[in-house]
Amino acid sequence: MKSTKCRKNLKDFLASLRFNSKKGQGMSLNVIIIAALALVVLVVLIVIFTQQSTKFGVKVGEETKTELAKMRIFYGQCQPGKAFEDRFTSDYESATSAEDKDVAESNFRSEIDRCKEFTSDKDSCESNSGCIWS
C-alpha cells in the first residue's frame, strides 16, 4: 500500500510539473528587445544598400556620358549618327569588365574613323553610311 501511495504521489507530482510549469514557454523581455533591435538594424541596412545601388546606377550613366563626350572630341565634319552613339552607350553601360569597356570604345572609335573617311562632302557622308554631316 505504501508503494502504491508513493507511485501515486510521484505520478501526481510529475503531472503537476508537466501541466503547471510555465517556465520556458514564453519569451523573456530581453529576447524581445534583442529581436526588435536586430529587426531595426536589418531595416537600416536594407535602406542603405538600396540607396547605394541607386547611386551606383546613376554614376555608371554619368561615366558613360563622360566617355561619349571624350569620344566626340575626335569627330570631324562627318560624324557617327545617333544610332551609333546609342549603341556605344548601351555597350559601355552593359560592360562588366574593363576589357568589355575597351571593346566598346574601340568599336566606336573605328566608327568615328569610318565616318571621317567621308569628309569630302555632305552627300558622300550621309548616303548609306549611317553618318551625319555637322
Query: What confidence tens digit (pLDDT) does each residue in 72-113 have?
Result: 888 888 888 888 989 998 898 888 888 999 999 999 999 988
pTM exceeds cut of 0.75: no
User: Do residues 134 and 75 touch, judged by C-beta distance below 8 A?
Assistant: yes
Query: What confidence tens digit (pLDDT) does each residue in 50-76 have?
Result: 887 777 766 767 888 888 888 888 888
In the numeric block, which cell numbers belong to residue 89? 552607350
**Would you kindly state where each structural domain of the chain is located, as residue ranges?**
72-134
130 Cβ partners below 8 Å, 6+ apart?
80, 81, 83, 84
